[in-house]
Amino acid sequence: MEENKMNYHDPSEYIRNFQQLLVSDKKRIGFLFGAGTSLVKNPNTNKAYVPAIGEMTKDIINAIVDESYKNAIDEIKDEIENDNKPFTIETLLSKLELKQQVIGNGKINDLNKDGFTKLIEEIKDQIHSKVSVHNDIECDILIHKTFAEWIQKADRKTAIEVFTTNYDYLFEIAFEYKNLPYYDGFAGSYKPFF
């Protein structure tokens, strides 16, 4: 009987412990949010304000019209997949920037240094366009705003720490909407560093 008791986990006990942690103003707390936290749907379009990496990759690749760029991307996609890595906008940009650094005066994937530079700029402009959602978001509907309100009301001795597995712009929008000061780990604004 004693042996069965040791293997038994009472979920209500964990919830009570968690509630005590949140109520206590003396204990440090931190929250970890995964990549899906940003996938908040726009009620007008039923699409995420900021698309997931797979959808963003497809959208950006489809928006590129220059055939030489499309051919280079197809070749680089094969290289990335042959290395058993997922083809995403991140792996594509990494590969493009590596090739741009070593190309010299030659050509790789039928692109010269200038071609790589222009393609990288076009992709970064597309990414910027996709993630610049601050004008489209009605902050009142974001779950991030509710979390920011809780933080604002929490009377704690130490700062509440929020960690994300990716850069999450929607948290920043919600914190600014509620006039909450935050520190994202970066210093500087012109060329920020971690």
Q: Give the tens place of pLDDT for each residue, 83-122.
A: 999 999 999 999 999 999 998 898 999 999 999 999 999 9
Q: Which of 82, 123, 131 is nearest to 100 (CA)?
A: 123
Contact 152, 178 (CB under 8 A): yes
pLDDT in tens, 11-59: 888 888 888 877 777 788 888 888 778 787 777 788 877 888 888 999 9
Per-residue burial over 76-98, b = 16 or more CB atoms within 10 Å of its CB, e = otherwise: bbeebeeeeeebebebbbebbee
Contact 92, 80 (CB under 8 A): yes
Choose the weakest-confidence range: 37-46, 73-82, 141-150: 37-46
Q: According to the model, what pLDDT value does residue 6 have?
A: 62
The first and second tokens of residue 90, run together, are: 């991140």
Q: Does residue 1 have a pLDDT over 50?
A: no
> For residues 136 and 144, which has the higher predicted lDDT (pLDDT)?
144
Return d(Cα 106, Cα 92) in angstroms, integer: 20
pLDDT in tens, 146-171: 899 999 988 888 888 888 877 677 88
Q: According to the model, what pLDDT value does residue 89 have?
A: 93
> For residue 191, what pLDDT band results from cuts at 50, 70 and 90?
confident
In the chain the beta strands, taken as DSSP E runs, fall at 30-33, 161-164
The first and second tokens of residue 97, run together, are: 């920037």
> For residue 136, what pLDDT band results from cuts at 50, 70 and 90?
low
Highest-pLDDT range among 3-17, 57-71, 168-182: 57-71
β-pair type (30-33, 161-164): parallel
Q: Does residue 66 have a pLDDT over 80?
A: yes
Q: Does residue 2 have a pLDDT over 70?
A: no
Return d(Cα 68, Cα 173) in angstroms, integer: 38
Backbone angles phi, psi at 182, to 5 degrees: -145, 160
**Max alpha carbon distance in the chain (Å)?**
77
- DSSP-derived secondary structure letter, 38: G
